[in-house]
Amino acid sequence: MNPGVRKIVPKPKALNCPNCGSAIELRAMGAATTVVCSYCSSTLDAANPQLVILQKWQSQMTVQPLIPLGSRGNLFGAVWEAIGFQQRGITVDGTDYFWREYVLFNPFKGFRYLSEYENHWSFVTPLPSIPVPGVNNYNRPTMTLDGVVYNHFQSAQATTSFVIGEFPWQVRVGEVVGTADYVLPPRMLSAETTVNEVNWSRGEYVEGAAIWAAFQLPNAAPAANGVYSSQPAPVENRPGRPWKLFLIFAALLMGMMIFFSARARQETVLDQTYTYQPVGAGEKSFVTPPFELRGDSANLQVDVTGAELQNEWAFISMALINEQTGEAFDFGRQISFYSGTDGGESWTEDNRSDSATLPSIPGGRYYLRIEPESESNYVKPTPIKYNVKLVRDVPFYLRYFVGLLLLLVPLVFMGRKGANFEALRWTESDYGVPPAAAVWKSDNSSGDDDDE
């Protein structure tokens, strides 16, 4: 707390309640309009030196303020003293919802308010100007203040159910005002309408912990329940820094793709056509002449093509064997091709070529052991011509697209989380759904109507 400010806050003036005789402290003497006795809850005219009773209300302290009246706290650059407290409520679909408001006073800055609902807090400042009404793209009312558009959230009739302390207006239990809230988290514009006037204010969402720290309240701030109308989303679901980072890393991936593609040697180390004779005795497998795979670890693309295959298949088992180390990389590719006519329509099936990319093959001297087999083994003794081509160090583009997808995953997750958060927020509104969802729902329902 700023000791310099503390000195200038006036000491409360001691008076007595004309209803019950209890001592009453006037903290905003000359500024407050009414003061409510903390013992009998009678509403007194603070502007009158005799504290004339405006409303008698024999009641006990039924609602305990979380911030004791008289507490001082530094919020938004000034020291504020809590001098009044009221509880208000609305009834929606037969259910009562209550929130609490604290009157804050600073002799130089005047009055501010703290609003609390389900342990969500807002610091509320009265507005000297009136926002401009409008309608957003989703046909919902808006209010514009200083060029910023706030979306209508909820309108209701609020009734004061409990008051205590000092107020800058003639507050009474049972007082009814029309309320309308327009939100743009973390801010909210609120209108309070009575028969005679409309008061506008702007609230800014404040974490409970900040309130507790400011007023030096004991224990920890109670955890907030649910999502408040002006609560900022914990995960940003609008384009922001993560999306900028995504663009930077996507560009980096593109750069890597270009770099490694340019660096890839794409060296053909074997390109040979063989003929497989299914019929006849003897070993079908054979080995190729040795070839050199240069450089360090790199991939090896194997293309197998049987250009003359017709209504048959061939499976080529292959083993890439390192002459020096005896290490073998065993794999196989199947090629097949079928065609014909069915009901007057011609058809084809499968593919005469196939390829495999062997990852991270160390450099060295290798040979390929090839062992073909085919349908001809069992049916027809037709020789099969096929080509085997080995290309060392080929570009592998798929990894960069996988990388892009991996970069997108957290952003999609964030967007989904943010959308869920917005859905929860707007559940409490007059509309039940966020503006965008409302349009989607509207579009769907109109489509259903058309179908009918």
Partner 1 sequence: MSKFYMIYSSLVAGGLFYSGLTGWSYGSYDEVKGVPKSVRDNPGAYRSHYAGSARYFGGK
Contacting positions for partner 1 (CB under 8 A):
235-236, 240-242, 245-246, 249, 252-253, 256, 259-260, 283, 285-287, 296-299, 311, 313, 315, 317-321, 323, 326-332, 334, 336, 338, 340, 342, 347, 349-350, 356-361, 367, 369, 371, 373, 375, 393, 396, 398-400, 403, 406-407, 410-411, 414
Of the pair 206, 321, the CB lying nearest partner 1 is at 321
Residue 228 Ramachandran class (φ > 0 left, ψ -120 to 50 alpha, else beta): beta
Shortest reach from residue 251's CB to partner 1, in Å: 11
Shortest reach from residue 188's CB to partner 1, in Å: 24
Of the pair 59, 339, the CB lying nearest partner 1 is at 339
Tokens of 416: 């989904």
CA angle 291, 294, 295 (to 5 degrees): 160
Give the number of other CB atoms < 10 A from CB of residue 324: 8
CB 111 within 8 A of CB 117: no
Shortest reach from residue 421's CB to partner 1, in Å: 13
Shortest reach from residue 313's CB to partner 1, in Å: 6
Only one residue has tokens 């703290």, namely: 114
Shortest reach from residue 414's CB to partner 1, in Å: 7
Of the pair 169, 243, the CB lying nearest partner 1 is at 243
Taking the alpha carbons at both ends of the chain, their separation in whole angstroms is 67
CB 373 within 8 A of CB 314: yes
Shortest reach from residue 369's CB to partner 1, in Å: 5
Backbone φ and ψ for 449, nearest 5 degrees, come out as -60, -40
Of the pair 8, 258, the CB lying nearest partner 1 is at 258
Q: Alpha-carbon distance 113 to 154, whole Å? A: 20
Shortest reach from residue 434's CB to partner 1, in Å: 21
Give the number of other CB atoms < 10 A from CB of residue 373: 19
Of the pair 79, 298, the CB lying nearest partner 1 is at 298
Of the pair 12, 403, the CB lying nearest partner 1 is at 403
Of the pair 271, 327, the CB lying nearest partner 1 is at 327
Q: Alpha-carbon distance 416 to 346, whole Å? A: 47
Shortest reach from residue 360's CB to partner 1, in Å: 5
The closest of 167, 165, 162 to 25, measured between CA atoms, is 165
Of the pair 194, 297, the CB lying nearest partner 1 is at 297
Helix 435-451 / helix 398-427 crossing angle, nearest 10 deg: 90
Chain centre to alpha carbon of residue 270: 53
Shortest reach from residue 235's CB to partner 1, in Å: 6
Of the pair 380, 441, the CB lying nearest partner 1 is at 380
Helix 398-427 / helix 241-263 crossing angle, nearest 10 deg: 170
Of the pair 36, 407, the CB lying nearest partner 1 is at 407
Shortest reach from residue 252's CB to partner 1, in Å: 5
Q: Alpha-carbon distance 358 to 303, whole Å? A: 11
Residue 412 Ramachandran class (φ > 0 left, ψ -120 to 50 alpha, else beta): alpha
CB 118 within 8 A of CB 141: no
Q: Alpha-carbon distance 339 to 310, whole Å? A: 7
Q: Alpha-carbon distance 183 to 95, whole Å? A: 23
